[in-house]
């Protein structure tokens, strides 16, 4: 009787160990899938942000070119140069 009880507890311990291993693996796989989803969403947001920034930059460059063209339309050369210098000062990056 004693022998069968020992083998039964050993079998139960082994089954519990297998169950813990599969539970650990399932948790790891779930965490990795969740991380993959978060990374995909972050990449989507980053791409949208980059596209919006590029569009904004293009609009600013168009406005700057239009302002420079208006400066070149001014007749006196001194006035045109002063206008261009003023535009350069406005568009200089602030550090």
Q: Model-level pTM?
A: 0.55
Q: In three state form, how does the secondary structure of the chain look?
A: CHHHHHHHHHHHHHHHHHHHHHHHHHHHHHHHHHHHHHHHHHHHHHHHHHHHHHHHHHHHHHHHHHHHHHHHHCCCHHHHHHHHHHHHHHHCCCC
> What pLDDT does residue 90 have?
79
The residue extents of the domains of the chain are 2-91
Each residue's pLDDT tens digit, 22-78: 788 889 999 999 999 999 999 999 999 999 999 999 999 898 888 888 887 877 888
């Amino acid at each position: 009787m004693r022998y069968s009880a020992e083998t039964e507890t050993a079998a139960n311990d082994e089954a519990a160990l297998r169950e813990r291993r599969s539970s650990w693996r399932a948790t790891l796989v779930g965490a990795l899938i969740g991380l993959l989803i978060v990374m995909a969403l972050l990449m989507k947001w980053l791409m949208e942000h980059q596209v919006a920034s590029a569009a904004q930059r293009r609009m600013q460059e168009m406005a700057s070119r239009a302002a420079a063209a208006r400066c070149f339309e001014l007749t006196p050369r001194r006035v045109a140069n002063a206008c261009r210098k003023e535009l350069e000062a406005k568009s200089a990056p602030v550090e």
